[in-house]
Amino acid sequence: MSPQLTRRELAQLAGVAALAAPFSRHAHAAPRARVGLAALPAEGLTPASARAALEKALVGATNATSAAAAVRALFKPTDTVGIKLNCLAGRGMSPRPELVEALATLLGNAGLARHRIIVFERSTRELRRAGFLPGDHDTYRCLAIDNDYDAEPSTSGSIGSCFARLASTTCTALVSFGVVKDHDLAGISAGAKNWYGIIHNPNKYHDSNCDPYLADLLRHPLVRDKVRLTILDGVTAQCHGGPAYRPDATWPLGVVAASTDLLAADAWAWRVIDAERTRRRLPTLAAAGRPPRWLATAHQYGLGVGDPSQVEIVGA
């Protein structure tokens, strides 16, 4: 694959036939989902450019007349919206504060009070390492779970976990705000894997490429019924060495992605990561022994569109 490929080509070329194989027996009933993309520079991100890109991605994801209309359709002023960040890798591979601020501003403009917009992560330490300051801000509250979990576990298929009370009790709606990177066990860590951060025992659920564990977590009512939106900071992406930050495996993808489908953004991220791995003459995730098997399982559960060939890319 030529090193001169554009971002659009990287998003489209990743061996569609190979990626779609786990979904083939369901192809006759395959739905379609949208992922909205908007271009962003790898350097020099500003609040204005972050907001403009996020608005474009939201319109692409929802086909709404405007980003404001998209947000009003997804969230009510009476909702308490929890925005779950993925800050495991620190500043090098975490959502940028400018993009998170842009989303919080859109929610505020849709009528949500500041105390109803909660940006959160597993720990205070992870928030600070990624450049987020816990406490009250102009447009949102920033909180850490810090081991505040339900007293009793609940089950879904193969998992039995105590959920963070922020997700189970405080918030009525959830947003996954992730990044575009590979994962040494799950294959990819984008929007869906981010939800491992709301249970007390994710370490138990990484065997067999996280399958069916991650799919079972996604079909738990606290995830399935509350998640309204996935946003991916794809300004910089990582194709190898994840989930930790590995600078030599990153590249300037230069987009922000959005989807209202629980799986579609991850299906897109899989394709993008495999395309970059192919360009670098690395084996695909499947050939490397870590395909995101859970994506096909979640697709078969009816949780969303996990088949990359059935994801419509809009924009960028």
Express each pLDDT in 111-149 by its tens digit.
Answer: 999 999 999 999 999 999 999 999 999 999 999 999 999
**Per-residue pLDDT tens digits for 222-276:** 999 999 999 999 999 999 999 999 999 999 999 999 999 999 999 999 999 999 9
Residues ≥6 apart with Cβ < 8 Å to 60: 34, 35, 36, 37, 38, 258, 314, 315
For the chain, the residue count is 316
Indicate whether 4 pLDDT > 60. Answer: no
Return the pLDDT at 225.
98
Percentage with pLDDT > 90 across the chain: 88
Q: How far apart are CA 274 and CA 31, in angstroms?
A: 23
- Enclosing H/E stretch for 299: helix 293-300
Token couple for 205: 């659920």
Helix (H, G, I), strand (E, B) or coil at 44: coil
Nearest Cα neighbor of 143 from 206, 83, 221 is 83
What residues does each domain of the chain span? 44-145, 147-175+186-226+263-282+295-300
Reported pTM: 0.91
Rounded to 5°, the CA angle 14-286-26 comes to: 75
